Amino acid sequence: MAAEIDRQKVRDSFHRQANDYDCHAVVQCRVVAKVVDMLQAQQLTPARILDVGAGTGRLLGRVTELYPEASAVGADLAPGMCRAAAENLAGKRVQMVNADAENLPFAPESFDLVLSTSTYQWLSSLDQAFGEARRVLAPRGLFCFALFGEKTLFELRDSYRSALSGGADRSHSFFSKSEVEEALQRVGFTGATVTSELEVEMHPDVPELLRSLKRIGAGSTAPVAASGLSERRIMLDMMAAYRKEFGAKDGIPATYEVIYGLARKPG
């Protein structure tokens, strides 16, 4: 289970980085493409679509091309993301709503298809958000999502822990594939298919990786140095450990585990 997460901090971080997000969210863009492929394989004809954690609207833009007759709604916790998506999707049949994945402002059975990418890893528990997705789905509706799993940024987190020498670990933790499967079962989804894939990004060095995470609003996935010489020393030791253990000629790798899920609400 993920550690307790400051949702206000997450909201503010993504709000600030909305304008720069698409320029730096490389893996997230690959995830959107994969989800679109998954949808095409399902041969759906949804009339009502919801994207939870819609961000800048990249997935909704692709989905409205895939299902041009459908009406679509995007929900995001960060007001800046909602504004960016509304601008990017101007002229399309899309409504953006500033809303929390754990408390969706929609009536039961409002949608035929609920989507989400790169969002649910920011929750402390999956049950409430998955339960909300099920609630707003019509019977036999499809839930299609992707989130970052437990192997995500393992190089960064392992290097940080090695530098701590027994101190308090403040790095972000991610859900495992089995935790995702169990949460889907608990809230009542059926026929779930959950898979995972690894994506690797290369960065010139550790500081550039940390800057990249900050630029997409995901700075809280990395340990943040507090004031004081001891914290600075931990960060320097972490960077040295990262370079020593994982460094290569072309820089340092950053691994992301992407967990993909398909599930239906019972009819």
The predicted structure's pLDDT at residue 172? 74
Contact call for residues 176 and 150 (beta carbons, < 8 A): yes
Is 79 a member of any domain?
A: yes
Rounded CA gap, 83 and 10, in Å?
Answer: 17
Token pair belonging to 22: 């698409």
Could you tell me if residue 186 is inside a domain? yes
Burial class for 30, CB neighbours closer than 10 Å (0-12, 13-18, 19+):
middle
231 within some domain: no
Do the domain assignments include residue 205?
Answer: no
Residue 250: inside a domain: no
What pLDDT is stored for residue 217 in this prediction?
56
Q: H or E element: which one contains 21?
A: helix 21-24
Domain-located, residue 218:
no
**What integer pLDDT is reported at residue 10 of this predicted model?**
47
What is the predicted pLDDT for the residue at 137?
A: 98
Give, for all 267 residues of the chain, the pLDDT tens digit: 444 455 555 444 454 444 454 454 578 888 999 999 999 999 899 999 999 999 989 999 999 999 999 999 999 998 888 998 999 999 898 999 999 999 999 999 999 999 999 999 989 899 999 999 999 999 999 999 999 999 999 999 999 988 987 666 666 789 999 999 999 999 999 999 999 999 999 999 999 898 888 776 555 555 554 445 677 888 899 999 999 999 999 999 999 999 999 999 998
**CA Rg, the chain, in Å?**
19
Q: Which of 164, 260, 246 lies closest to 201, judged by CA? A: 246
What is the pTM for the complete model shown? Answer: 0.87
In 3D space, the residue among 263, 155, 161 whose CA is nearest the CA of residue 205 turns out to be: 155
Range of the domain at 107: 7-151+173-200+257-264
Closest by CA to 32, choosing from 60, 59, 61, is 59
Sign of the four-CA dihedral 249, 251, 255, 256: negative
Instruction: Write down the pLDDT at residue 25.
Output: 59
Q: Which two tokens stand for residue 185?
A: 């079962």
Is 142 domain-assigned?
A: yes
91: in domain: yes
Domain count, the chain: 1
What CATH number is attached to the domain comprising 123?
3.40.50.150
